[in-house]
């Protein structure tokens, strides 16, 4: 069975306010018939602790209903925050959307 997923692409700052909105969007999508939500971080140029907390909360909520949350295309600042906080070990992060799709549909 194919994995059903949808991509969300937030942009600009990912802080307390925008993080809460993104968290809500993720949860609404996950309560549908999707298996996975992919967050494309390519247009996020700032991530603070409140934004990161919203992503962790969303991840935990999805895990509790047996769904997945993945991320792709983090820019330099976002990557640095994810590495410094060791969230790269918690989140499933792909270099770009092509790498994500390759993980779902590997060629033989």
Q: How confident is the model at residue 104 (pLDDT cuts 50, 70, 90)?
A: confident
Tell me how far apart the alpha carbons of residues 70 and 96 are, in angstroms, rounded to a whole number.
Answer: 11
Q: Tens digits of per-residue pLDDT, 40-86?
A: 999 999 999 999 999 999 999 999 999 999 999 999 999 999 999 99
Predicted confidence (pLDDT) at residue 108 exceeds the cutoff of 70: no
Task: Quote the pLDDT of residue 77.
Answer: 95
Other C-beta atoms lying within 10 Å of the C-beta of residue 4: 11
Report d(CA 30, CA 14) in Å as an integer: 20
């Amino acid at each position: 069975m194919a994995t059903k997923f949808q991509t969300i692409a937030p942009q600009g700052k990912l802080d307390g306010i925008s993080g809460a909105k993104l968290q809500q969007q993720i949860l609404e999508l996950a309560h549908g018939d999707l298996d996975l939500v992919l967050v494309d971080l390519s247009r996020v140029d700032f991530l603070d602790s409140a934004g990161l907390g919203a992503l962790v909360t969303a991840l935990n909520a999805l895990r509790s209903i047996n769904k997945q949350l993945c991320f792709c295309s983090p820019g330099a600042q976002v990557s640095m925050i994810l590495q410094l906080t060791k969230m790269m070990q918690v989140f499933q992060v792909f270099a770009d959307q092509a790498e994500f799709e390759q993980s779902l549909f590997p060629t033989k």
